[in-house]
Amino acid sequence: MTRVTYLVWSVLVLTVIINGISGQEYKIELSSSHVTWRVENKNKSISVAATVPGGIYTDLQNAGIIGNVLDGFNDVLARWVAYDSWTYETKFQVRPEYLEHAASILVLEGVDTVAFLEMNGRPFGLTNNMFVRYVFDIKQYLKAGENELGVRFMSPLEAANARSEKHFTAPQCVPQEYHGECHANQLRKMQASFSWDWGPAFPSVGLWKNVSIEFYNGAIIRTVTTHINRDKFHWYLKIVAHLESGVKKQKVKGYLSAKLSVNAHQSLTIGKHIELWTRDDGKIEAELNMTIHANVISLWWPNGYGEQPLYDLEVGLMNEGESHVSRKQVRIGFRTIELVEDDASTALGNTTGGQGLTFYFKVNGYPLFMKGSNWIPSNILPELGADKEIVDHLLMSARDTHMAMLRVWGGGVYESDYFYQKCDELGILIWQDFLFACAMYPTDAEFLETVQVEIEQNVNRLQHHASIAVWAGNNENEVAIRGNWYNTQPEFDRYKSEYIKLYVDVIKPIVERLDPGRRYLVSSPSNGRKSEEDGYIALNPYDAHYGDTHYYNYIADNWDFNIYPQTRFASEYGFQSFPSLKTMRSATNKSADFSLDSDYSKHRQHSPNGNNNIEVQITRHLRLDKNDTDYFRKFVFFSQISQAMSIKAETEFYRQSQADWFTMGALYWQLNDVWQAPSWAGIEYGGKWKMLHYFARRFFAPVLVSPRLTLTGDVDVYLINDRFVPIIDAEIIVDVFNWSSLTPILTQSYPANTEALSSTKQASLDIWKKENKEEILLKFSLKCMGVESPPNYIFPVPLKTVKGLSTPNIRVKLRRLDVSSEDENRFVVTIKTDAIVLFFWLESEVDGHFSDNGLILTEGETQLYFTTKVSTNKKTIQRGISYSYYMH
Ligand SMILES: *[C@@H]1O[C@H](CO)[C@@H](O)[C@H](O)[C@H]1NC(C)=O
Ligand SMILES: *[C@@H]1O[C@H](CO)[C@@H](O)[C@H](O)[C@H]1NC(C)=O
Ligand SMILES: *[C@@H]1O[C@H](CO)[C@@H](O)[C@H](O)[C@H]1NC(C)=O
Ligand SMILES: *[C@@H]1O[C@H](CO)[C@@H](O)[C@H](O)[C@H]1NC(C)=O
Ligand SMILES: *[C@@H]1O[C@H](CO)[C@@H](O)[C@H](O)[C@H]1NC(C)=O
Ligand SMILES: *[C@@H]1O[C@H](CO)[C@@H](O)[C@H](O)[C@H]1NC(C)=O
Ligand SMILES: *[C@@H]1O[C@H](CO)[C@@H](O)[C@H](O)[C@H]1NC(C)=O
CATH topology for the 703-801 domain: Immunoglobulin-like (2.60.40)
- Is residue 156 predicted with pLDDT exceeding 90? yes
Q: Note whether 719 and 760 are within 8 A (CB).
A: yes
Rounded CA-CA distance 646/573 in Å is: 10
How many angstroms is it from 365 CA to the middle of ligand 4?
30
* Average pLDDT estimate for 231-245: 97
Q: Which residues are part of the catalytic machinery?
A: 476, 572
Minimum CA distance residue for ligand 6 atom 1: 627
| Amino acid in the structure at residue 669 | W
- Is residue 20 predicted with pLDDT exceeding 80? no
How many angstroms is it from 621 CA to the middle of ligand 6?
18
Ligand 2 atom, smallest distance to 209 CA: 13
Rounded CA-CA distance 595/629 in Å is: 11
Rounded CA-CA distance 345/355 in Å is: 6
Residues 6+ apart with CB under 8 A from 566: 353, 544, 657, 661, 663
pLDDT digits (tens, 9 = 90+) for 646-702: 999 999 999 999 999 999 999 999 999 999 999 999 999 999 999 999 999 999 999
368 φ/ψ angles, rounded to the nearest 5 degrees: -115, 135
Whether the CB of 736 sits within 6 Å of ligand 7 = no
**Quick one: which ligand is closest to 588's CA?**
5
Rounded CA-CA distance 186/110 in Å is: 18
> How far apart, in Å, are the Cα atoms of 745 and each of 708, 803, 833?
21, 15, 18
**So what's the pLDDT on residue 18?**
34
**Quick one: which ligand is closest to 418's CA?**
2
How many angstroms is it from 79 CA to the middle of ligand 6?
43
pLDDT digits (tens, 9 = 90+) for 303-312: 999 999 999 9
* Average pLDDT estimate for 549-567: 98
Whether the CB of 633 sits within 6 Å of ligand 3 = no
Ligand 2 atom, smallest distance to 386 CA: 13
Out of 289, 290, 292, mutate this one to test ligand 3's pocket (max ligand atoms within 8 Å of CB): namely 289
> How far apart, in Å, are the Cα atoms of 381 and each of 37, 57, 63, 332, 558?
19, 8, 16, 30, 33
For residue 554, with 0-12 CB atoms within 10 Å meaning exposed, 13-18 middle and 19 or more buried, which class applies? middle
Whether the CB of 554 sits within 6 Å of ligand 3 = no
Ligand 7 atom, smallest distance to 740 CA: 2
How many angstroms is it from 288 CA to the middle of ligand 3?
8
| Amino acid in the structure at residue 239 | I
What beta strand segments (E) does 133-250 contain?
134-137, 145-153, 194-196, 199-201, 206-207, 211-216, 220-230, 234-244
For residue 121, with 0-12 CB atoms within 10 Å meaning exposed, 13-18 middle and 19 or more buried, which class applies? exposed
CATH topology for the 810-886 domain: Immunoglobulin-like (2.60.40)
Does the CA dihedral 517-523-525-528 come out positive or negative? negative
**So what's the pLDDT on residue 824?**
77
pLDDT digits (tens, 9 = 90+) for 816-837: 887 665 667 899 999 999 999 9
Q: What's the pLDDT band for 17 if we cut at 50, 70, 90?
A: very low
Rounded CA-CA distance 649/672 in Å is: 20
Q: What's the pLDDT band for 13 if we cut at 50, 70, 90?
A: very low
**So what's the pLDDT on residue 822?**
62
Whether the CB of 236 sits within 6 Å of ligand 3 = yes
Rounded CA-CA distance 303/837 in Å is: 33
Whether the CB of 738 sits within 6 Å of ligand 7 = yes
The verdict on whether omega for the bond into residue 113 sits within 30 degrees of 0, i.e. cis, is: yes
How is 255-287 classified by DSSP, letter by letter? EEEEEEEEETTEEEEEEEEEEEE--TTSEEEEE
**Quick one: which ligand is closest to 420's CA?**
2
DSSP state for residue 501 in the 8-state scheme: I
CATH topology for the 18-214 domain: Jelly Rolls (2.60.120)
Ligand 5 atom, smallest distance to 68 CA: 13
Whether the CB of 291 sits within 6 Å of ligand 3 = no
Rounded CA-CA distance 705/694 in Å is: 17
Ligand 7 atom, smallest distance to 771 CA: 13
How many angstroms is it from 562 CA to the middle of ligand 4?
27
Portions of the chain given CATH number 2.60.120.260? 18-214
Ligand 3 atom, smallest distance to 2 CA: 14
Whether the CB of 631 sits within 6 Å of ligand 3 = no
Write down the mean pLDDT value for the chain: 95
How many angstroms is it from 583 CA to the middle of ligand 5?
10
CATH topology for the 218-321 domain: Immunoglobulin-like (2.60.40)
**So what's the pLDDT on residue 821?**
59
Out of 229, 237, 276, 287, mutate this one to test ligand 3's pocket (max ligand atoms within 8 Å of CB): namely 287
705 φ/ψ angles, rounded to the nearest 5 degrees: -85, 120
Query: Is the pTM value of this prediction over 0.85?
Result: yes
Portions of the chain given CATH number 2.60.40.10? 218-321, 703-801, 810-886
Q: Note whether 201 and 179 are within 8 A (CB).
A: yes
